[in-house]
Homo-oligomer: A and B are copies of this chain.
Amino acid sequence: MTPRRHDPAHARPAPLRTGDVSELTTGRLSVYLRCLETLESEGVPTISSRSLAERFHLNSPQIRKDLANFGEFGIRGVGYEVGPLRATIERILGIDQEKRAAIVGAGNLGSALAAYAGFNERGFRVVALFDADPAKAGTTTRTGQPIHPIEEIARVVRDEKVEIGIIAVPPAAAQDAYDRLCDAGVGAVLSFSPGRIELRPGIPSRTVDLKFSLEALSFHLGRRRGSKRAG
């Protein structure tokens, strides 16, 4: 639509078109990003939407439409340059600048998330944890992040410039963790607690209920007939 002359893809960062985009679209950006990381590590220099789709079981018009929400990043007659497109998607997602996160709850799940590679590379870093158990305060995780008493959320979030709060406490403690994080000034919250949380408007939040995927699989299990082994 913008008739502005199209710079080559490797030039200065193109302006990002910005408007209303569906969650489905942005979710797929993450998928594309993983694919591009793979291609880049294989040294593939450019790829068309068609081959990207074939290689990763996606569909090509959708890839083009999704990207078109944010600008024009391809080269007609050629395709997309893998490296620059990866960088562009990272910029769209805002992970070109490292986002600092902190985890409330240093139990099994919290500690595992703190050690999780995906939470400590390519745009994210877990810089601190909090726990209500005083015995854990002052110690560090196996991966070296400090564990603070939960009362210090406000101070640590400020000092460490934490932008994202992650909740990994038992359901009953989820609301308290959420409120403390919001009061401390984090910009977004990700919860792994199945407990229902009363959200505040204006603070983007997500809940990941790990059990949902198990239930979805269970549903499909029930519909598969002709299982080889009898129950």
Contact = CB atoms under 8 A, between A and B. Distances in A.
A65 interface: no
A196 B52 CA distance: 14
A221 B163 contact: yes
Number of copies of this protein chain within its complex: 2
A196 B10 CA distance: 28
B217 A188 contact: yes
Q: Which of A113, A204, A211 has the most CB of B within 10 A?
A: A211
Q: Which of A158, A218, A224 has the most CB of B within 10 A?
A: A218
A190 interface: yes
A115 interface: yes
B113 A111 contact: no
Nearest to A212: B30
A197 to B, nearest CB: 11
Contact of A164 (B164, B206, B209, B221): B221
Given A56-B196, A212-B30, A108 B119 contact: no
Q: Which of A30, A33, A38 has the most CB of B within 10 A?
A: A30
B118 A23 contact: no
Interface residues of A, number: 67
Given A94-B218, A218-B164, A224 B202 contact: yes
A97 to B, nearest CB: 8
Given A108-B111, A204-B220, A211 B94 contact: no
A218 B123 contact: yes
24 contacts: A27-B216, A30-B211, A30-B216, A33-B215, A34-B194, A34-B196, A93-B219, A94-B218, A95-B215, A109-B115, A118-B194, A118-B214, A119-B210, A119-B214, A123-B215, A123-B218, A124-B211, A124-B218, A188-B220, A189-B217, A202-B224, A205-B217, A208-B208, A208-B213
